[in-house]
C-alpha cells in the first residue's frame, strides 16, 4: 500500500541509479522547471484550474511508478519490454511521461496534450543521449513518452501499458489541498467542492483486479470527482478491467467504481 503524495516518487527511484539520476536531472533542469511554473501561471492564475506545475509532476510521477510496479507484478507487460527493452526502460518511459505530461499547459489548456508533445520533444532530445547512446533506444523511449503525453487526455485512447499508467496516475492527484488553488481564486463549482472533499488516495494490490485505488472522502461530494472526472480517464486508459476505485467515507467503505462496469457497485 502506498499513499499518493509528492514524496512517493523519491521512494520509487531510490536504489536505482538510472531512475535516481534522471529524476534529479528533471528536478534541477532550469528550462523544464521554468516551463512547469509557467504552466501554473496559465492554468491556475488565468483559468482557475488546480495545480499543474512541479508539484503535480512529482505526485503523478510517484503514483505512476507505483502503479507500473503493481501491474507488472501481476503479469502485465509494458510495450517497452515487448519491444526488447528492460523493465527499467519501461520505468524510464513512465517517469519521463509522468513528469512531462502537462507541460503543454504553458501555452494553453486547450490542446495541451498535443502542444506538450512538441515541447517535450526538445527536452527529451537533450536528455536521452546521456542515458542511451544508441539512436534506436533513444527513439523507442522517446516515441513511448510522446505517445503517453498525447494519450493522457481523457478523449484519447491509450495504446500502451505505459500510457495507460500515466492516465491512471494523473487522476490520483486529488487529495485534500490540491483544490485550494481554484477555490482560493474564486472557483466554486462542483469540481472545486468535489476535489476539496477528497482526504487521501492510496494505491493497493487487489485480489480480483490487480490495482485498487482507494479514495477516502470527508463527504460524498467526492463521488463526483471519481465517477465524472477520474472515471473518464480510466475508461480510455486501456487498463479499465485491471483497476477498481474503492470509495471510502471517513475511513469506512462506501462503494466501488469500475469503468469496465459503468454502474457503481
Which pLDDT does position 227 carry in this prediction?
84
Does residue 177 register a pLDDT over 90?
no
- The topology under which CATH files domain 180-257 is Alpha-Beta Plaits (3.30.70)
Q: Which of 39-43, 148-152, 219-223, 230-234 has maximum average pLDDT? A: 148-152
Q: Does pLDDT of 264 surpass 50?
A: no
- Cα–Cα distance between 181 and 194 in angstroms, integer? 14
CATH class of 2-170: mainly alpha
What pLDDT, on a 0 to 100 scale, did the predictor assign at position 197?
86
pTM of this prediction?
0.93
Question: Domain spans of the chain?
Answer: 2-170, 180-257
pLDDT category at 246 given cuts 50, 70, 90 is very high
Which pLDDT score is estimated for 187? 60
pLDDT of residue 113: 97
Judge whether residue 10 has pLDDT over 90: yes
Where residue 265 falls among pLDDT bands split at 50, 70, 90? Answer: very low
pLDDT, tens digit (0-9, with 9 covering 90-100), for 96-154: 999 999 999 999 999 999 999 999 999 999 999 999 999 999 999 999 999 999 999 99
Instruction: Share the mean pLDDT of the chain.
Output: 91
Q: In which band, very low, low, confident or very high, does the pLDDT at 174 lie, cut at 50, 70 and 90?
A: confident
- Record the cell numbers describing residue 151, joined without a space: 494519450
pLDDT surpasses 70 at 179: no
Average pLDDT of 239-253? 95
Are the C-beta atoms of 70 and 4 separated by less than 8 Å? no
In the predicted model, is pLDDT for residue 262 greater than 50?
A: no
Amino acid at each position: 500500500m502506498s499513499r499518493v503524495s509528492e514524496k512517493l516518487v523519491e521512494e520509487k527511484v531510490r536504489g536505482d541509479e538510472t531512475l535516481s539520476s534522471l529524476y534529479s536531472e528533471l528536478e534541477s533542469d532550469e528550462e523544464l522547471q521554468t516551463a512547469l511554473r509557467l504552466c501554473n501561471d496559465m492554468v491556475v492564475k488565468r483559468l482557475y484550474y488546480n495545480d499543474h506545475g512541479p508539484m503535480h509532476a512529482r505526485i503523478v510521477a510517484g503514483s505512476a511508478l507505483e502503479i507500473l510496479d503493481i501491474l507488472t507484478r501481476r503479469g502485465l507487460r509494458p510495450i517497452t519490454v515487448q519491444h526488447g527493452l528492460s523493465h527499467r526502460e519501461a520505468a524510464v518511459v513512465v517517469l519521463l511521461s509522468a513528469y512531462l505530461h502537462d507541460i503543454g499547459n504553458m501555452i494553453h489548456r486547450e490542446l495541451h496534450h498535443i502542444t506538450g508533445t512538441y515541447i517535450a520533444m526538445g527536452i527529451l532530445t537533450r536528455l536521452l543521449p546521456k542515458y542511451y547512446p544508441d539512436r534506436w533506444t533513444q527513439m523507442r523511449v522517446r516515441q513511448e513518452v510522446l505517445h503517453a503525453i498525447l494519450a493522457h487526455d481523457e478523449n484519447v485512447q491509450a495504446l500502451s501499458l505505459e500510457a495507460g499508467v500515466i492516465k491512471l496516475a494523473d487522476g490520483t492527484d486529488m487529495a485534500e489541498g490540491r483544490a485550494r488553488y481554484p477555490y482560493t481564486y474564486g472557483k466554486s463549482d462542483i469540481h472545486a467542492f468535489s476535489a476539496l472533499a477528497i482526504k487521501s488516495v492510496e494505491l493497493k494490490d487487489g485480489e480480483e483486479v490487480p490495482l485498487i485505488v482507494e479514495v477516502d472522502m470527508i463527504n460524498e461530494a467526492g463521488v463526483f470527482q471519481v465517477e465524472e472526472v477520474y472515471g473518464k480517464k480510466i475508461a480510455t486508459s486501456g487498463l479499465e478491467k485491471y483497476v477498481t476505485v474503492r470509495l471510502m467515507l471517513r475511513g469506512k467503505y462506501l462503494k466501488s467504481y469500475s469503468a469496465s462496469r459503468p454502474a457503481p457497485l
